[in-house]
Structure 1
Amino acid sequence: MAGNKGIPQLTFRAVVLAVVLAVVLAAANAYLGLFAGLTIATAIPAAVVSMGVLRLLGGGTILENNIVQTGASAGSSIAAGVIFTIPALVIMGYWPEFKYWWVLGIAGLGGLLGVLFSVPLRRTMIVEDPLPFPEGKAAAEVLKAGENPGPGLKILALAGAIGAAVKLAATSGLRAIPDTAAGATFLGKYLGYMGTNLSPALLGVGYIVGLNIGIVVVSGSILSWHIAIPLYHAFFLAGDTVLSAALAGASAEDAAFGIWSSQIRYLGVGAMLTGGVWTLFSLRKSLVSGVRSGFAAARKGSGAAVAETERDLPMKWMLVALVAFVAPLWMLYHAIVGVWGISLLMTVIMIVAGFLFVSVSAYLAGLVGSSNNPVSGITIATILFASVVLMLLLGRDSPIGAVAAIMIGAVVCCAAAVGGDNLQDLKAGYLVGATPWKQQLMLGIGAFSCALVMAPVLNLLSQAYGIGAPTAEHPNALSAPQATLMAAVARGLFGGDLPWGMIGAGAVVGALIVALDEWLKARGSSFRVPVLAAAIGIYLPLELMVPIFLGGLIAHFVERFHGLRAGDEEARDRIHRPGTLYAAGLITGEALMGIAIAVPIVMTGRADVLALPQHLHLGEAAAQWLGLVVLALVGWLLYRVSTRKAAVAPGG
């Protein structure tokens, strides 16, 4: 760890660049999360962009670049916290659109609380009993090796252009290629379906999360689409008079989606509920010890001379800020339930749950990275706990009980996402000799900046594509899987009607997955089966999981090409750095083009405003084959970039 005395860090240009990148990456991650239910960590792409931009401005220090990536990474965490929860309020019909001041209040307060709650955890998780924090270590290596950021920027720019071009050519743009290549057929009483989304972004996501997660998520989808849906169609559909009448005469593909939408996806809901409860139970000892040592370190450090590289934001000011946040949270919740006492109880629940779950999120980010951090499971647990308390106070038939539970979950989700990401950034700062309080301040600035733009981005996407269940107006709506799940759980607990049998079966499936994962852990297996990843696969359409699996497969072939030895994490980070930048470029380019396309759609009120003339369209089969060829070329380029012998990225 290097010293940092006299080296510029929190400069004006670094702050401005961090805010700009944070806002752009927040918008991109919001689109990705609503589309596929996943977000990615953005620290490494932000670090590479920072090194290139600051070099054009006369050169930047390693600590300035670290500040930029710290602030910019708030884009992924705030986006995750928002899109996992707040769209539930629109899906439930409580809001007709995303209300600016409400979204700002929820995301802003949640993000700042995440920063505050993570401060006492830095010393124990990074200094005294350090966790790996894989993305933080990778970002530090990129910063240390950033003498020549040019090749990395070229990779980002190329991949961004490819992702944007494919998105422009797809269904929401020129309509030259479809979003999905799929087929289904009846096999006697059984129903078979196979398909893949043609999104380069999902291929990039798969490369980043790796083959293990890719296998787990696609296996979850195979369980739904190749086992549960055919079995339901063969043996249970006839007894479901409402659904069988609705699907009478439907094509095989429509029947498959109808069964999945009304029944089978709730297996994923049950598995997620099990995953959320298991996450808390399995971390109970680490959580308690982490909270205790964090406060002990804060007490020990007060009043003593502390090195610049060990100075956190002062604990007394953290407590003052925490007390100051109680009033706006109290007022926010009072605006929902209208009873001051219950509103205060909601605030207390949020504060306590927020601190507990920020600790859990930070611990998980330290073990598996921010991209694999099961924040949605943490949020489900929060909503369940809040719902039980609110049912006791308001009654199960309360018209605002479900909304109140979502509101508590939304603030906690934002805090947990930011808290986990904050510790990842502080790990990178620790390795390069940064000043912690400056990073913590920058993350707060970045988080609040992202909160300022989330409502307009969500409204734009909602008006152009739709969010939640497909409708006649928006047949290809952004699925918002986590928010749809939160809405279903909250409504079901407060007088709603859910397929509880299917949810119970999913909970059992989740328990079996947990048992399998524990067995693999006991055997020391490198392959693991995280229950929340499997639950996402069960819950989402198979077509979204296939390209994620293929991206993970490419990452595996890249490791084989380089002869990577098992357990060599530093070599893995170095090997994958060019591919990670390429994958991040695909994701960002596609997502930003998706947002750009939404502008003319909303302005004109026409979903086909950019479509090519009809005589230039290919037939359906030819367009699907063209889309498959394009996706294959994108994957081949990803492999080629990742297996070039020359150094192609900072530190490569």
Structure 2
Amino acid sequence: MNQPAPAQLTLRAVVLAVVLAVILSAANAYLGLFAGLTIATAIPAAVVSMGVLRLLGGGSILENNIVQTGASAGSSIAAGVIFTIPALIIMGYWPDFKYWWVLAIAGLGGLLGVLFSVPLRRSMIVEEPLPFPEGKAAAEVLKAGENPGPGLKILGISAGIGALVKLMAESGLRLIPDNAAGAGFFGKYLGYMGTGLSPALLGVGYIVGLNIGIVVLSGSVLAYNIAIPFYHAFLLNSDPEMMAKVAGKTAAEAAGIIRGDKIRYLGVGTMLIGGVWTLFSLRKSLLSGVKSGIAAARKGSGEGFVPHTERDLPMKWMLVALVLFVLPLLGLYQAIVQNWGVSVPMTIIMIVAGFLFVSVSAYLAGLVGSSNNPVSGITIATILFASVVLMLLLGSDSKIGAVAAIMIGAVVCCAAAVGGDNLQDLKAGYLVGATPWKQQLMLGIGAFSCALIMAPVLNLLSQAYGIGDPTRPGSLQAPQATLMASVAQGLFGGKLPWDMIIAGAVIGAIVIAFDSWLKSRNSSFRVPVLAAAIGIYLPLELMVPIFLGGLLAYFVEKRHGIVGTHDESLRDRVHRPGVLFSAGLITGEALMGILIAIPIVVSERADVLALPEKFHFSQYVGLVVLALVGWLIYRTGVKGEGSAKA
């Protein structure tokens, strides 16, 4: 006999999920623009939920699951937005972020991601289950939720530390610098080395691990310690424009100019080849996933009475919602191109690419988790395909073609990010006995709630720090959005250093070949091409602390005797305290960065909070602060809940 579903979608769970989703989406927007990475928010949200609902008089495991489902939209919507929409600012199409346009792109794109992913649940979770590592980890946290107090304490303390260090940094009180770096000329060669002093980046490194940390740092070493010195020594004399730019500059300034104008495009080429390779390598799994998902949906739609644990959103209502969500996007595209013969194909491309790439994203999330899901590679492929079609419709010299391609890519990016996240949440729900349609509805609510605040947050960050502006010190890098703008503009008559992009593509091919060789040898160490591309593209100062954070995670594993273990549940238990501490550092620093932006924008002064210069300390004090934070991460991590020696 079918039992009634326990309380899940309660008012307090929905409200708490929305509040957490909005806070975490703002934090991830800052982190993504700053470092090119976002973090999954389901586990920290689950810990907070268990603590808050307990204070309110209890809270079942299914209520807590609903909260983490809705809150997890914070990372996926933030990623979908910051990877694409800032490109419209960088391209000069928008002077600022248009509220209703951002809401339409992010909100409707996120809702489409939920709809497109529903048919994939049975095939990827029930019939031929994929690992979904973060979904499993979230389920374990929910099951172990009898004592959430220690986790809340860890999050609270680390968030305070992250916020305090950010307040001390250059955008705040200016007690310590943002970076510690050294550079010099050695004959005709140019040398540079440095590290960022951000605790959040240490936290990112701890979460992604040593493998990814080594790969991203290797990419930056290739750019800064091989490509820049080589260009300065052998190619600079043949480029009068660049010679004029670096004339009279310090070594550090010259390195920054060469990287910004030339070397970072090696990363563009590597990302392009990496995005294409990702889709090619997934071609069989993609087709299989789409076919089985559609078949499962047809099978499910004909069933009568089913247990609550197998009930998805009804297919007929999904089709109605699909039409309702697509029509506003058709109107948006028409407002851009002013040509129904172009806006209709744009909408068709968006729908087809959205469904296909949500399937890719869901499959990748099932294999490597949402945090490592290369959504940017998927989006690059979308923009390339859309650009080719739009070139045929509008011509290669169209002034609006690049903007139209970005608009298509933005919706697909939001849909793909949310789709992968939805399957991750549904895996956790499957393991704890949740009702799928309630989770799907909650994720849609969470995604749209995040979309409501994206434009104000982005405008605040843009005015306070700048986004993707190489001429403005401290500007947020926005690496993926800058890449999307470069690709779209380059295909519509823009000027790009194609020699560097081609060289980057060759580097990407070498990385892919090396990774394939490692795979053939069943090596535990892998070299994801998109991680290498991020390392090449972003400043070295961002990659060094990420590597150091990964090194801390390795030392924690060594202390517990689990280096090389394949027991993921054991690894999750060991790393849970360190991951929570790292997530708190990231959230605290990001939220303080947003709070600091308010007085900067109001006063129109970047130094509004700065203390007198006599209180400014050297970079060595910043290094000591970073070392202390690293020690705290390690000390927290070694208190993990498991050991291979036990």
What is the TM-score of this pair, normalised by structure 1? Answer: 0.97
Secondary structure at the counterpart of residue 182 of structure 2: strand
Helix, strand or coil at the partner of 1:221:
helix
Deviation at 1:644, TM superposition (A): 2.1
Q: For residues 351-390 of structure 1, what are the structure 2 equivalents within 5 Å? A: 351-390=351-390
1:272-421 map, 5 Å: 272-304=271-303, 305-421=305-421
1:260 correspondence with 2:255: no
Deviation at 1:325, TM superposition (A): 2.2
Alignment of 1:134-173 (within 5 A): 134-173=133-172
Please tell me the residue identity of whatever aligns with 1:634: V
Summarize the alignment of residues 506-545 of structure 1 with structure 2, pairs less than 5 Å apart: 506-545=504-543
SS at match of 1:181: strand
Corresponding residue for residue 547 of structure 1: 545
Give the equivalent residue in structure 2 for 1:561: 559
1:214-258 CA deviation, whole Å, 9 max, x = no partner?
000000001101110000000000101100111111100011111
State the partner residue of 2:191.
192
What residue identity is the alignment partner of 1:33?
A: G
Aligned to 2:28: 29
CA separation of 1:647 and 1:156: change in aligned 2, threshold 3 A = farther
Q: Deviations over 1:442-485 (max 9, x none)?
A: 000000000000000000000001101233xx411001000011
Tell me the distance in 2 between the aligned counterparts of 1:451 and 1:591: 18
- Counterpart Cα distance in 1 of 2:615 and 2:477: 30
SS state at 2:371 partner = helix
CA–CA separation in structure 1 for the residues paired with 2:163 and 2:239: 43
Deviates more, 1:293-302 or 1:193-202: 293-302
Q: What secondary structure is seen at the aligned counterpart in 1 of 2:173?
A: coil
CA contact (8 A) 1:271 1:508 kept: yes
Aligned to 2:473: 475
Alignment pair present for 1:57 and 2:62: no
Partners in 1 of 2:249 and 2:463 — Cα distance?
Answer: 29
* CA displacement at 1:495 relative to structure 2: 0.7
Distance in 2 (alpha carbons) for counterparts of 1:566 and 1:65: 30
- Aligned-CA RMSD value: 1.2
SS of alignment partner, residue 185 of structure 2: strand
Deviations 1:281-313 (A, max 9, x none): 000000101111111111111231321101100
Deviation at 1:647, TM superposition (A): 8.5
- The CA distance in 2 between the partners of 1:95 and 1:299, in whole Å, is 43
Report the 3-state secondary structure (helix = DSSP H, G, I; strand = E; otherwise coil) of the residue aligned with 2:565. coil
Aligned equivalent of 1:587: 586
What CA distance in whole angstroms lies between the structure 2 residues aligned with 1:582 and 1:4?
Answer: 39
1:427 paired residue number: 427
**Percent identity between the two aligned chains:** 80
Structure 2 vs 1, CA of residues 4 and 132 (structure 1 numbering), >3 Å: closer, same or farther? Answer: farther
Q: Residues of 2 paired with 1:54 and 1:562: CA distance?
A: 33
Distance 1:31 1:153 in 2: 23
Residue number in structure 2 paired with 1:455 = 455
Structure 1 residues without counterparts, runs of 5 or longer: none
CA deviations over 1:148-195 (Å, ceiling 9, x no partner) = 100000000000000000000000000000000001011111111000
CA contact (8 A) 2:116 2:355 kept: yes
Query: C-alpha distance in 1, partners of 2:231/2:607?
Result: 36
How far apart are the structure 1 equivalents of 2:224 and 2:641?
43
Structure 1 residues 645 and 228: CA distance shift in structure 2, 3 A: closer
The structural deviation recorded for 1:318 is 1.2
Hey, what's the Cα distance between the residues in 2 that align with 1:626 and 1:399?
50
Q: Report the counterpart of residue 12 of structure 2 in structure 1.
A: 13
- Structure 2 distance, partners of 1:647, 1:155, is 17
What secondary structure, in the 3-state scheme, does the structure 1 residue paired with 2:252 have?
helix
Counterpart of 1:437 in structure 2 is: 437
Q: How does 1:605-616 map to 2 (within 5 A)?
A: 605-616=604-615
Distance 2:216 2:318 in 1: 39
Q: TM-score, normalised by structure 2?
A: 0.98
Q: Closer, same or farther in 2 for the Cα pair 1:57/1:168, shift >3 Å?
A: same
1:89 corresponds to? 88
Aligned-pair CA distance for 1:505: 0.6
2:641 and 2:442 map into 1 onto residues whose CA distance is: 35
Deviation per CA, 1:2-37: give whole Å up to 9, x if none: x97342100000000000000000000000000000
AA paired with 2:620?
Answer: W
How many angstroms apart in 2 are the aligned matches of 1:303 and 1:615? Answer: 74
Task: Please give the secondary structure, in 2, of the residue aligned with 1:182.
Answer: strand
Contact 1:30-1:80 at 8 Å conserved across structures = yes
Give the paired residue count: 641
- Three-state SS of the structure 2 residue aligned to 1:116 is helix
Which letter does structure 2 place at the counterpart of 1:343? S
The answer to whether the 8 A contact 2:573-2:641 is kept is: no
The alignment status of 1:239 with 2:229, answered yes or no, reads no
1:585 maps to a residue whose letter is G
8 A contact 1:14–1:67 mirrored in 2: yes
Aligned partner letter, 1:325: F
Q: Is the 8 A contact 1:4 1:434 kept in 2?
A: no
The residue type equivalent to 1:185 in the other structure is G
* CA 1:554–1:296: 2 relative to 1, 3 Å: same
Contact 2:570 2:642 (8 Å CA) reproduced: no
Indicate conservation of the 8 Å contact 2:5/2:435, yes or no: no
Shifted more, 303-312 versus 480-489: the winner is 303-312
Q: Distance in 1 between matches of 2:217 and 2:109?
A: 32
Q: Displacement of 1:57 after TM fit?
A: 0.2
Q: Return the letter of the residue paired with 1:334.
A: Q
Paired with 1:216 and 1:428, the residues of 2 have a C-alpha distance of 29
Measure, in 2, the Cα distance between the counterparts of 1:391 and 1:373: 29
Contact 1:224 1:538 in 2 (8 A): yes
Partners in 1 of 2:428 and 2:10 — Cα distance? 18
Aligned equivalents of 2:415 and 2:255: distance in 1? 38
2 CA distance for matches of 1:488 and 1:645? 44
Do the aligned residues in 2 keep the contact of 1:4 with 1:433 (CA within 8 Å)? no
Q: Secondary structure at the match of 2:261?
A: helix
Q: Letter of the aligned partner of 1:635 in structure 2?
A: G
- Equivalents in 2 of 1:645, 1:324: separation in Å? 48
SS at match of 1:236: helix
Q: Distance in 2 between matches of 1:558 and 1:134?
A: 20
Amino acid at match of 1:595: I
Mapped to 2, the partners of 1:646 and 1:409 lie a distance apart of: 42
Q: In the aligned structure 2, how far is the partner of 1:266 from the partner of 1:641?
A: 39
For 1:27, the aligned partner's letter is A
Residue number in structure 2 paired with 1:632: 627
Structure 2 unaligned segments of length 5 or more: list them.
none
Q: Cα distance 1:4–1:135, how it changes in 2: closer, same or farther (>3 A)?
A: farther
Check the 8 A contact 1:22/1:449 in 2, yes or no. yes
Q: Distance in 1 between matches of 2:505 and 2:467?
A: 26
Tell me, in whole angstroms, the C-alpha distance in 1 between the residues paired with 2:427 and 2:184.
51
**Alpha-carbon distance in 1 for matches of 2:186, 2:499:** 27
2:205 corresponds to: 206
In the alignment, structure 1 residue 487 sits paired with structure 2 residue 482: no
SS in 2 for 1:271: helix
Q: Aligned AA for 2:243?
A: S
2:536 counterpart letter in structure 1: I
Shift in Å at residue 61 of structure 1? Answer: 0.3
- What is the rounded CA distance, in whole Å, between the counterparts of 2:255 and 2:526 in structure 1? 30
For 2:37 and 2:440, the matched residues in 1 are separated by 25
2-side partners of 1:644 and 1:51: how far apart?
A: 21
- Aligned to 1:424, the other structure's residue is in SS state helix
Q: Using the alignment, how far apart are the partners of 2:5 and 2:80 within structure 1?
A: 36
Give the drift of 1:323: 2.0
